[in-house]
Amino acid sequence: MQPDDELCLCFHITKRKVTNYIRIEKPKVASQLSECGGAGTGCGWCRPYLAKLLEQSVSGDVDGSSEEISSDEYAANRSRYVRDGGGTPPAGATPVDP
């Protein structure tokens, strides 16, 4: 994923926005990332990725360069997750592929 790709597709929050939030606000736990525009509070798909970004910030890899999934693959996996009953996106979220 690239910095300007959406990490939270429910609230249209980019990876860059989350990494900047981590850099500036220095959250202690991943759940605090919900204060970054509601990230992770929709379908829940992005929560493991939010936690991983926070872990990477502790290890000094704040750009998350070890994350090699493409944005298309990420969105497709999220669609599968929602279709399988993993969570419900809010109104206005990036649509789930049929």
**Residue 9 binds ligand FES (CB under 6 A):** yes
> Per DSSP, what are the bridge partners of residue 6?
14
Size of the site for ligand FES (CB under 6 A): 12
Stretch that binds ligand FES, among 7-15, 22-30, 51-59, 64-72 (CB under 6 A): 7-15
DSSP letters of the chain?
--TTSEEETTTTEEHHHHHHHHHHH--SSGGGGGGTTTTTSSSSTTHHHHHHHHHHHHHT-TT-TT----HHHHHHHHHHHHHTTS--PPTTSPPPP-
Q: How far apart are CA 81 and CA 60, in angstroms?
A: 30
Stretch that binds ligand FES, among 25-33, 42-50, 56-64, 66-74 (CB under 6 A): 42-50
Among 1, 10, 33, 53, binds ligand FES (CB under 6 A): 10
Task: Verify binding: residue 42, ligand FES, rule CB under 6 A.
Answer: yes
Verify binding: residue 89, ligand FES, rule CB under 6 A: yes
Does the protein bind ligand FES through residue 43 (CB under 6 A)? Answer: yes
Instruction: List contacts with ligand FES (CB under 6 A).
Output: 8-10, 40-46, 78, 89
